[in-house]
Chains A and B, each alone.
Chain A
Amino acid sequence: MADLSVNIAGVHFKNPIIAASGTIGFGHEYSEFYPLSVFGGISCKGTTLKERPGNPPPRIAETPMGMLNAVGLQNPGVDHFIEYDLPWLKKQDTVAIANVAGSTQDDYCRMAEILSETDIDMIELNISCPNVKEGGVQFGTSCESVAAITKAVRACCGKPLIIKLSPNVSDIASIAKAAESEGADAVSLINTLTGMRIDINTRRPIIRNITGGMSGPAVFPVAVRMVWQVKNAVSIPVIGMGGITTWKDAVEMMMAGADAIQIGTALFTDPYSPVKIAEGLNAYLDKNGMKSATELTHTVITG
């Protein structure tokens, strides 16, 4: 039995498997399948200052080995989260991560202040949501804007701060460096790739929002490449995600440079995928004589 635990920005995770924001809500529904302690951590549904209704349906479209979504940050607001979801989540023996979104820089700062007064373990700054009209990805696509919002939130955030990066950029390594230079404790990537599908019978986009964020196994090679590029550029921990479905994907993502990983769309295909990934990861480490999951990180041989 290898040691699966990892340390991200001073926070201990019993294993490197984190549920990705937006795919598991606040954890309640998946706790019907298994104790949430199977996860090293849970990144909660993107939360905003005030309740958001989300986008009109349809919000979902399937794609070859993947899917598009445009939920549009539907959430009950941060106060509801703190009152009803966080106390329960804190009892589930897993690291609780708040995923924070907003329309303005002030929104993000106010959210960080409010959450810093709670017992949330970490904050993940969502500056990469492609499905909202204001905010979201607009803060995440240039080095200047990423540096500015990281600096502003860092100044009012008393929790370890993860910046979640968008893949819809030309140079993700520079953006990661900008976040690191302004005090990010870790970066997580990739959020979804903007995509679109059209119903050829109606000539209408399948998703009412027209475009949506693409996730699932189809994006995995893009995610591996970006995690590798970012790990080469920064010295803070990197949380890798994007299409991880099996334990082999998890091993590959860690070899590319991930200190921990997030699982999202795979939960929809198989709710038990995190349990299977933890088992497979452990078996791989044992088989290869590794004592700790940390021995995998950034070990890809490129020379």
Chain B
Amino acid sequence: MFKNLTIGQHYPVESPVHSLDPRVKIIMTFAFIISLFLIESFVTYLYVIAFLAVAIISSKVPFKFVLRGLRPIFFIILITFIINILMTPGNVIIFELGFIKITDAGLRQAGFMALRLTLLIMGTSLLTLTTSPILLTDGIENLLNPFKKIGVPAHELAMMMTIALRFIPTLMEETEKIMKAQKSRGADFESGNVINRAKNLIPLLVPLFISAFRRADELAMAMEARCYRGGENRTRMRQLKMEMGDYVAIFIFVIYFAMIIVSKIW
């Protein structure tokens, strides 16, 4: 059942956005987030929305998948919105009921924040939707490499991510199996209060941990047997290479970013 679970939310199609170098996408995503915080007017937001729309359309990812990323943080957006409405002082009072005061500045500020968060999530979703976890890992490792000298464990982080991604499906399957085995012995994982439920998890968690440690042990041995000795002098089969598309994307993005700055100065 868990076997076909896709990890992360990678949406595997071929598109100009998918084929971009992951490093380019990661940096652009960061710059995009920064750009969101530079904006001071709704008009500029329209411009950002237009840019993001173009990016989404050319990624061939259905719009509802991009929206799906908003689901887990919907409440955060809502709360931000409400807090901003209530807490921002302003001159023109639009609505008043007891201690609740809604001002024009509050409304404006709240709309601003909500829009900013929504765009931020949609932008980062687009990164994970169009980049496979492996490429993402490669990209992160590659970008962090220059910081190795100041002690950033770039290779180790990437290796950890890879192994986690590799073993998540295996451990999910195992969880399901142990759960079924304990259910066959009359275990109940579904009813009872919180404390009982937590206690009922012991027959699942103990075997799972033991097995995870055993797997880790065996994997470590297998990796050493295949001459693994850390990141030193290690090469990679897949080399990240910037291509024409990447330069075009960077060019478009620089124009986008420049416009944001221009709007700020004006």
Instruction: Please determine whether chains A and B interact with each other in the same assembly.
Output: no
